[in-house]
Amino acid sequence: MLKNHRGIALVGIGLLSTLTACGGGGGGGSTEASSTAADTTPASETPAQAAASSFSYSKILGEYSAQQWDAIALAKIVASGSSLNAEYIQNMTTSFTEDGQSYAISAAGQSNGNITLDYSWTVNTDGTDTIATLYDPTGFQVANSYQQALADAELNVSTYDSTWLASQGVEYVDGAAAQVIYTGRDPVHTLPIIYGDFTENGDVKTTANQDFSLLPDMLFQYWDNDRNTSTTLVAKGSGNITVNYTSNTVTGTVVLDKFYNYADVFNSNTSYALVAGIPNITMTLVNGTLVDGQITATLDASIVVTSNGTLSGEGYLKGALFGPEGNELGATLFLLQDSEDTHSYFYWDSTGIVLGQ
């Protein structure tokens, strides 16, 4: 059970480093009071791809009309910039539909402090909404961010670029995130999202182990002890998850060991340098389980930094197996400073996604 954390926090998603950009372009609406239930059944008219298994799946890189993807999301709520409180939602009802040159996204859930989020958006990818491009440090395009002005807020939704996904060999799962920044008010709501084609229950392996190499994409933010100075970094790294299909247990680690200046990525720079002096963060999966192709685990991290104490945190991972025989994996996760932390940072946390295969 995660502790009821309240602390300083404002983060986004590494692949979505343009999330806090001012949005322009098309209209749309936001609401905090009306829910749209998720329907994760793939649309019947979308082209299914042949697989080695006896089941049929839709590849994420196809072009679709009314494709209802399976989706998982978490949420982070910065309720007030003045009091610097943050809350988290572990269980979101999420719907993600791709229809030609648009995405229809709905997400609803309640935080540990009883804050309710309930959203429904249509995001246009045809240029109607402002588009920003994100690159890796070598200048390779990684993601696109679609920025939209709502009636009372700014919305940014980002997804991985199809060429980058293809370069990684990922076919059945994608990552996205949404952030809503309210105009004239403090709340900032950030939702990391995984979507694609879940592995069917009958297609999940029942024996042996399977290792997944991970691509984590996170933001790491910390406040100094003066409580007024914060630093936001894009965090990358590696990791491994092992699924034991006999016992339905999930183990592994997620490592963040490359940190970049948020502004460098935010400004769509095509080259930028590593930020030195940030300790590597290793998150260990604890009590991980696999149930009907769905993965959950708590996260634990303890990093000894000799000169500044110990970074200690706990968190949550929620994901699933995707595609034929569950050979791809996607998950959303967050890690929060806990009571055993003795580092000089006043507060820190990290939020994002991982893809694995």
Q: What is the DSSP code string of 38-106?
A: ---SPPTTSPPBP-SSSS-B--TTS--SSEEEEEEE-EEEEEETTTTEEEEES--EEEEEE-SSEEEEE
Closest CA to 173 of 165, 163, 161: 165
Residue 331 lies in a domain: yes
Share of the chain above pLDDT 90, in %: 53
- Burial (0-12, 13-18, 19+ Cβ within 10 Å), 236: buried
pLDDT band at 79 (very low <50, low <70, confident <90, very high): low
Q: What is the largest CA-CA distance in the chain?
A: 59
Single out the residue of 66, 92, 88, 67 nearest to residue 78, CA to CA: 88
Instruction: Check whether 334 has a pLDDT greater than 60.
Output: yes
Q: Which range, 11-25, 95-109, 340-354, has the best average confidence (pLDDT)?
A: 95-109
**Rounded to the nearest 5 degrees, what angle is found at the Cα of 217, between the Cα atoms of 61 and 326?**
50
326: which DSSP letter? G
Has residue 212 been placed in a domain? yes
pLDDT at 92 over 90: yes
The pair of three-digit structure tokens given for residue 307, joined into one six-digit string = 């000169």
pLDDT band for position 39 (cuts 50, 70, 90): very low
The boundaries of the domain holding residue 107 are: 67-356
pLDDT at 214 > cutoff 60: yes
DSSP string, 279-299: PPEEEEEEEEEEETTEEEEEE
* pLDDT 10s digits, 164-184: 999 999 999 999 989 888 877
118 token code pair: 């309930």
Q: What is the pLDDT of residue 135?
A: 93
Q: How many domains is the chain built from?
A: 1
pLDDT at residue 326 is higher than 80:
yes
Structural domain includes residue 194: yes
Residue 114 has pLDDT above 70, yes or no: yes
Is residue 190 included in any domain, yes or no?
yes
* Integer Rg of the chain from CA: 19
Reduce the DSSP state of residue 202 to 3 states and report it: helix
Please tell me which residue, 192 or 347, carries the higher pLDDT value: 192
DSSP per position, 102-160: EEEEEEEEE-TT--EEEEEEEEE-SSSBEEEEEE-TTS-EEEEEEEEE-SSEEEEEEEE
- Cβ proximity of 276 and 288 under 8 Å: no
Residue 277 lies in a domain: yes
Average pLDDT score, the chain: 82
Q: What are the tokens at 219?
A: 């933001």
Pairs from 303-306 (Cβ < 8 Å, separation ≥ 24): 303/279, 305/279, 305/343
Q: Provide the pLDDT for residue 319.
A: 98
Report how far apart, in Å, the C-alpha atoms of 164 and of each of 94, 160, 254, 330 are: 25, 7, 21, 16
User: pLDDT grade, residue 21 (50/70/90)?
Assistant: very low
Tell whether 13 is covered by a domain: no
Q: What is the pTM of this model?
A: 0.83
Contacts of 135 (CB under 8 A, 6+ apart): 141, 142, 265, 268, 269, 270, 271
Residue 25 in domain = no
CA 292: distance to chain centroid? 21
In a 13 Å sphere around the CA of 86, the CA atoms on its Cβ side amount to: 24
Residue 46 has pLDDT above 50, yes or no: no
The CATH number of the domain where 130 resides is what? 2.40.160.90
Query: 337 lies in a domain?
Result: yes
